[in-house]
Amino acid sequence: MKKTKIVCTIGPKTESEEMLTKMLEAGMNVMRLNFSHGDYAEHGQRIQNLRNVMSKTGKKAAILLDTKGPEIRTIKLEGGNDVSLKAGQTFTFTTDKSVVGNNEIVAVTYEGFTSDLTVGNTVLVDDGLIGMEVTAIEGNKVICKVLNNGDLGENKGVNLPGVSIALPALAEKDKQDLIFGCEQGVDFVAASFIRKRSDVVEIREHLKAHGGENIQIISKIENQEGLNNFDEILEASDGIMVARGDMGVEIPVEEVIFAQKMIIEKCIRARKVVITATQMLDSMIKNPRPTRAEAGDVANAILDGTDAVMLSGESAKGKYPLEAVTIMATICERTDRVMTSRLDFNNDNRKLRITEAVCRGAVETAEKLEAPLIVVATQGGKSARAVRKYFPDATILA
């Protein structure tokens, strides 16, 4: 029996009751709904399908709503067609949303684009596929030099690495999505692009105002500002998601693994949930088997202490969603078998609260007795999570 949980993004290929039943049997523990795509009717049907399956099979799974979050995107292009950009050419971004773009200019969704940037900053488009350097700012226009060849399209994400942006934590769409989540009774909210503690507080207050006080907030760390303010974000959150996709665009790619390890370690110390996400078995979107590097990536995240690993496109739109869950579950189960308990007697001198002291004592006792099971009585799950963070050999029954 695996202890590491699997989060599966559900899309058109996996939303049917038949597929959800198979995915639950294969090892899915959490259904992720990506609110960057789809409408309320689609997501509501997916939630209903999962609940029907759980009712029929007796199996359990949590529901996670992943917000779109504050983001910057390109707007319209002539004819809706992509345009080719050449290295060395001049390209302009404008905040005038009436502009229809071409291979020389495009409008962006963010009004503060010109005020947040300075000459010398880098602008990345479409997950970093096109890089540009800011050479001048004139009124509502940011003039850039294109650094590499590439095709620019409509509605593509724009990243500003190292730049602190003034976008609100909750866009109007996010507010409505969270209200929908409260009405549907989701278990978790994965909050995108969290940059500081106040972002988490704002989301929690919005949830409470609409009856979602029991919904747990998983803050997604996706940029340098979030990393800089990580300790205060962790304190305010119920858990953390290592969102390696945008993070790998916002910070140097060689730094991502060290950020991941830091986040997991601090979550273990804080006894809070941590999910490692993005491109874990990415090749399985098209292929029936993962690469050796991907299998090692999943295993290493588990060895570091992640509580859950996540499938994105692999389960939402890939050719082999069921195989991806099955293989990930196999990797989880195999790696869980070599995990040893982490009581850290010599390295952990923190003063313990009563709940944590009891949980630590339970794990120590179970280890000495070689007990196969630790039973945890819990209302909100805090005690069960505290036991889990010591990685006992015993199975946890909450």
Active site residue 220: yes
Q: Give the active site residue among 278, 335, 360, 389.
A: 278
Residue spans of beta strands (DSSP E) within 61-140 = 62-66, 83-85, 90-94, 105-107, 122-125, 130-138
Looking at the DSSP bridge assignments, the partners of residue 141 are 94, 138
Burial (CB < 10 A; 0-12, 13-18, 19+), residue 58, is exposed
Distance of CA 272 to the CA centre of its chain: 15
Q: How far apart are CA 192 and CA 243, in angstroms?
A: 9
Total residue length of the chain? 398
Relative orientation angle of helices 197-209 and 172-184, to the nearest 10 degrees: 50
Q: Which of 2, 3, 32, 271 is catalytic?
A: 32
| Contacts of 104 by beta carbon, 8 Å cutoff, 6+ apart | 90, 91, 92
**From 13, 73, 175, 289, active-site residue:** 73
Annotation marks residue 32 as catalytic: yes
Could you tell me which residues come within 8 angstroms of residue 271 by beta carbon, excluding any fewer than 6 positions away?
356, 385, 386, 389
DSSP string, 188-233: EEEETT--SHHHHHHHHHHHHHTT-TTPEEEEEE-SHHHHHTHHHH
CA 294 – CA 282 distance, rounded (Å) = 8
289 classed as catalytic: no
The number of angstroms, rounded, from the C-alpha of 92 to the middle of its chain's C-alpha atoms is 31
Find the catalytic residue in 195, 220, 244, 272. Answer: 220
Question: Catalytic positions, please?
Answer: 32, 73, 220, 278
